[in-house]
Amino acid sequence: MQYGTPYYSFNTTNTVTGAAINSTTRTLAFADPNASAAQITFIGTEDQAVTGSLTLTAGSCNGCTPTPAGAPELGFRSISFDPFTNVLVAYDPNTLSGPTYPGNAISLINPGSAALTGAGTSPYRIIAAIPTGQVGTGSYTPAGQTTAVTVNGPMIYDPKSRFVLARMPGATRSAI
C-alpha cells in the first residue's frame, strides 16, 4: 500500500455516479444523474483545470437547437471514453421517456479541448441521444426488507470494436 499527498483534489456533489479517464488526453469526466445542468463535467489532469461542463437537454446536439427547448436530461450514470477518437459515451438507463425526455439512451459527446492558451473549445453532444429500445432499470427487494430498491443497468464501451454494451437488470439479455 502506498499513500501520499494528493496530486489534485476537487469537490463534486454526493450524487456523482460515473467517471472515466481518457488515457490518451488524460481528461477526466464525471456524470451526475441528478443534476439538471452541467450533468457531465470535464477536468484536464495535466493542467488541473475544469475544462468544461455540458448541460444535456432533450433533442440537443451540435448544430441543432430543439424547438421548443428540450427539458433537462436527468439520469446519465455510466460514461466511458473512446481514447482513439476522443469521444465520451454516456448512458442514461432511466425508463422515463417521452417527446421532451428521451430516457434510456446513449449519447456521444465531444469533450472539447483544454483552454491552456485561451483558445479551447467547449464540450458538445455530437448527435441527439440514441434510444436503446430496452429497459435500463429494474428493482430488487433485499431479503428481510419490504421496500424494493432501484437497480440501474451498467454500460461499457469497447473502443476496438466500437460496441456499446448495456446490461438490462433483471433481463436475460444485453443490448449492443
Q: Which residue has the cell 421532451?
A: 100
Q: Work out the burial of residue 98: count CB atoms within 10 Å of its CB; fewer than 13 is exposed, 13-18 middle, 19 or more buried.
A: exposed
Given a contact cutoff of 8 angstroms between Cβ atoms, the answer to whether 176 and 169 are in contact is no
Q: Residue 110 belongs to what domain range?
A: 18-135
In a domain, 103, yes or no: yes
DSSP-assigned beta bridge partners for residue 43: 28, 50
Overall number of domains in the chain:
1
In a domain, 71, yes or no: yes
Q: Tens-digit pLDDT profile for the chain (176 aa)? A: 677 787 777 778 888 888 999 989 888 999 998 888 889 999 887 777 777 889 888 878 887 766 556 778 888 888 999 999 999 999 888 766 555 566 778 899 999 876 555 567 888 999 888 887 776 777 778 888 888 887 777 788 888 888 887 776 666 556 55
In a domain, 156, yes or no: no
- C-alpha 32/C-alpha 19 separation (Å) is 9
Given a contact cutoff of 8 angstroms between Cβ atoms, the answer to whether 118 and 68 are in contact is no
The predicted structure's pLDDT at residue 29: 93
The predicted structure's pLDDT at residue 80: 92
In a domain, 81, yes or no: yes
The predicted structure's pLDDT at residue 76: 87
Q: How far is CA 95 from the centre of its chain?
A: 16
The predicted structure's pLDDT at residue 18: 85
In a domain, 99, yes or no: yes
In a domain, 95, yes or no: yes
